[in-house]
Chain A
Amino acid sequence: MRLEPVANPSLARRLGYPAAALGATVVIASLLALLAGAEPFGTLGLILQGAAGSKFAALETLNRATPLIFTGLSVAVAFRAKLWNIGAEAQLYAGAIVAVLLGTGALGSPLVLPVSALAAMLAGALVLLGPVLLKTRLGVDEVVTTLLLNFIMLLFVSYLLEGPMKDPMGMGWPKSAALIKEARLPRLVEGLRLHWGFGLALIAAVLVWLVQTRATLGFEMRAVGQNAGAARFAGIPVNAVLVKTALLSGGLAALAGWSEVAGLKGHLSLDLSPGFGYTGIIVAMLAMLHPLGVVVAALFVAGIFVGSDAMSRAAGVPTYIADMLLAVALLLMVLAILLTRFRVVRG
């Protein structure tokens, strides 16, 4: 058995397989619920209801999608140039640290939001700059360095929260002081629990899409990713392009952490990210690295997160069922996307 690429996938093919994946997910979700001793039918309804059944649920999904759009874009930008940035988690925390540093009184003017956003992007970019320079100068594998930096960064944040950044009014909890009002992202729509981070994420997706399709930098990034040897021969400065890609990718991931702190939580704690950096990889792969696809994929993943959480509560099944369901849904969707582009042939 082997895979043969499909030259021009038909619409039926492109819609059929993902639909089949969703269907299979529902079947497996029902079986999982049955195993856990709950009512097997209606799990899909519970998931949908939990993800988008009410205004509150829908906004919760959009809020959850916000950091995933940023990390998904970060990964999509890097992977497009074959820069394997597995370190969005570390870059996310770098952005979060900056949001706290500049947002807890260091800057008081109305400028605090744009300044801290730019500073956060710079911090995230710097976190990825080290690994990418090691790659271009010494050939060090960036998968290893960016992955390991995640753990270093998490320990660093832990140190900050136990030490210099610890909230004196926090009653001993390892969390930072709260951001001042001027440093908080306003609501997107007055009265709705959805912050401007979501709007910024959508804008970022459009901007990244424009850069990738219209800018010379995007052309260079795609050329380096598709065939670095041909790009180098054609005179494209491959290493410089990789560094620019890293700065953009790191900056986008940092915005995830920045917007979580400035828009949602209002402070920094160690549970800021339940692996948004890693999930960003899944989001980017589901989107086939397309920046606008990242938005759709992030909404899908966030919906499954929020919906299966609600389902497990409503159906009275353990929460790990929700985790399993999420994994099943993602694996099936990745398989479906593979099958839209390749057909299986014998021999």
Chain B
Amino acid sequence: MSTGATGAQEVVLRLDRITKRFGALLANDAVSLELKRGEVIALLGENGAGKTTLMNILFGHYVAEEGQVEVFGTPLAPGNPRAALAAGVGMVHQHFTLADNLSVLDNIRLGTESLWSRGQGRAAARARVADLSRDFGLAVHPEARVGSLSVGERQRVEILKALYREARILILDEPTAVLTPQETEALFETLRKAIARGLSILFISHKLHEVMAIADRCVVLRHGKVVGEVATRTTDRAQLAALMVGGEVAMPKAEARSPGAVRMRFAGVSTPDRGAAPGLKALSLDLRAGQITGLAGVSGNGQAALADLVSGLIRPGSGMMELNGVPVAGWTPRAAIGAGVARIPEDRHKTGTIADFTLTENAVLEGYFRPGFSRAGWMDWAAARRFAESIIGAYDVRCPGPQARIRLLSGGNMQKLILGRVLEPGPEIILANQPVRGLDVGAIAYVHSRLIAARDQGAAVLLISEDLDEVQSLSDVIHVISEGRLSPGFARGAMTPAELGLWMAGQGFDHAA
């Protein structure tokens, strides 16, 4: 970046010894931070490090026990969400806060101007939005309905909204999580233009290569404390990663293997669209024993339909689905489990577990009716508890015990219990849908090593992920899904991220078809 911090610059945002407790948990421990004019700071940290809490304090959703927030030298009133907006702080949330049924222009004006004025006010607003989108390279049609926009375009609307409200400080929460590599580059271009106009940016992320590309300084949070503050020029990814997790973590590597027989085959399978999300379009795919098949793609391009199909939640609308060479019949979740399909769902909180059930109950959620866990319709809870205890031991689930409610567990430990539940029976096919989303580095390494071990024992693994790095590091063969269509399979290392990014953006399919 061109605008290095040069000592005497004006401080636009100052967080001064912010401390926030939730019960016994110290979410923020005397966190201090100074953002200067024209500067980009990356706020780094694992899930649960306190980044979100800090942002919620800045935006008045929480009140800190100690410390204060200053914007342009003026203390911000605590607990007032409008104060930050009025002081010129704009936030682009990870989950967009747009009204799908309104136009881009109305979304931008929503909350600041009356939408009833159809005349001059609207025309003026439209002109201003047009200026802003030209100046900042945020191409989006002002009259388009937000519901019809892509995720990248919606993010542009969010940024436009902040700029329209004359934000001088932009806070972006995990802005690249939903973007293709190309869209990410376009976003960075916009941010550079914003910096050139004197805006300041706080960029929350855990993707280190992006942080290195855009930030001037990195502030690293761990367990609620600032554990490091380094200029990007003087550091590297390894040092930042070590700061984030407090030590080195070796990421498992998948060695190439020769694949075995086809376990699950899709031939020309289509499923109906679901609202805005496309269904599958004549998808053909082989899942082979001893092979990890990676599915890359921007979220909402048909991954959910394929995952539901493998899970047994839906059946093919048309086309053929085979299991070990036999067409599936009466395909349901229970049939899938019975056929040896291990399913790691995308949302472990909502789909994978029942929050108020104990670890024991969650451990037998799929197998409670089997002879080992019940007899003639009555549960054998002692056997269920032994099963839960064996998972807790074998999969290193950190928990108060098998009778604790699973909602008390961290995401990583919850995922380990799910892993144990589905891997213990020795599956032939494994569906891993976003298996490490929201996990810390240690848990990610653990989940990945388990998936690789299962592959080495002959399981056919389907890995669905929006994280291209994850897909590339684990997969033996990579497909890209876009608009419900599947790319050809690419061997490990055959494609660069940029090439895959083009497929993710929907290019290449026309030539391949």
Contact = CB atoms under 8 A, between A and B. Distances in A.
- Do A and B pair up? The answer is yes
Interface of A: 214-217, 219, 222-223, 226-227, 229-237, 347
A233 B377 contact: no
Given A223-B354, A233-B351, 7 more contacts: A216-B368, A219-B368, A226-B356, A227-B355, A230-B352, A235-B336, A235-B337
B365 A230 contact: yes
Sorted nearest first, the 10 A-B pairs with minimum C-beta distance are A235-B334, A235-B333, A234-B365, A227-B354, A234-B366, A226-B354, A233-B351, A216-B374, A230-B354, A235-B337
A214 B375 CA distance: 11
A235 B351 contact: no
A230 B353 contact: yes
Contacts of A217: 377
A247 B104 CA distance: 51
A272 B154 CA distance: 62
Contacts of A237: 332, 334
B21 to A, nearest CB: 13
B333 A232 contact: yes
Nearest to B381: A214
B361 interface: yes
B350 interface: yes
A222 B354 CA distance: 10
B455 interface: no
B79 interface: yes
Nearest to A218: B379
A229 B379 contact: no
Identify the interface centre among A222, A227, A233: most chain B CB within 10 Å of its CB.
A233
Interface residues of B, number: 30
A231 B379 CA distance: 17
Nearest to B380: A214
A59 B366 CA distance: 47
B311 interface: yes
A235 B338 CA distance: 10
Interface in B258-273: none
Identify the interface centre among B63, B332, B337, B378: most chain A CB within 10 Å of its CB.
B378
B490 interface: no
B369 A234 contact: no
A232 B365 CA distance: 10
B278 interface: no
A216 B351 contact: no
Given A214-B378, A219-B361, A235-B312, A226 B355 contact: yes
B222 interface: no
B38 interface: no
A216 B378 contact: yes
Contacts of B37: none
A176 B382 CA distance: 52
Nearest to A233: B351
28 contacts: A214-B379, A216-B369, A216-B374, A216-B377, A217-B377, A219-B361, A219-B368, A219-B379, A222-B357, A223-B354, A223-B357, A226-B354, A226-B355, A227-B350, A227-B355, A229-B351, A230-B351, A230-B353, A230-B354, A233-B313, A233-B345, A233-B351, A233-B352, A234-B366, A235-B312, A235-B333, A235-B337, A235-B366
Contacts of B168: none
A233 B379 contact: no
Contacts of B352: 230, 233
